[in-house]
Amino acid sequence: MSEDTITKNMTIGEVMEKHPETEAVFMKHFGNGCFTCPGAKTEDIAFGCTMHGVDVDTIIGELNEVVEN
């Protein structure tokens, strides 16, 4: 695992700040609420998945694919 590998314990805001190219993945799975929600800065991806009914492994896979390419 490299230092750029995204994990479910990282905050949504941390990932979007470090990797702006991931915004499309968050938009696809969570909607545009991530961009205006104050919780995005403190909530981890796993929590967001629980709140939005998204499989955490699916979104983590897509996020890491975007970062790798």
Q: What does the pLDDT read at residue 35?
A: 73
> Domain for residue 6, yes or no?
no
Question: What domain range includes position 24?
Answer: 12-68
28 domain-assigned: yes
Q: How many domains does the chain have?
A: 1
- Please tell me the pTM assigned to this model: 0.89
Q: What is d(CA 62, CA 45) in angstroms, rounded to the nearest whole number?
A: 12
3-state secondary structure 14-60: HHHHHCHHHHHHHHHHHCHHHHCCHHHHCCEHHHHHHHHCCCHHHHH
Residue 24, domain member (yes or no): yes
> From first to last of its 69 residues, what are the pLDDT tens digits of the chain?
667 799 999 999 999 999 999 999 999 998 887 777 787 888 999 999 998 899 999 999 999 999 998
pLDDT at 9: 96
The pLDDT score that the predictor gives to residue 59 is: 97
> Which residue has tokens 């993945």?
25
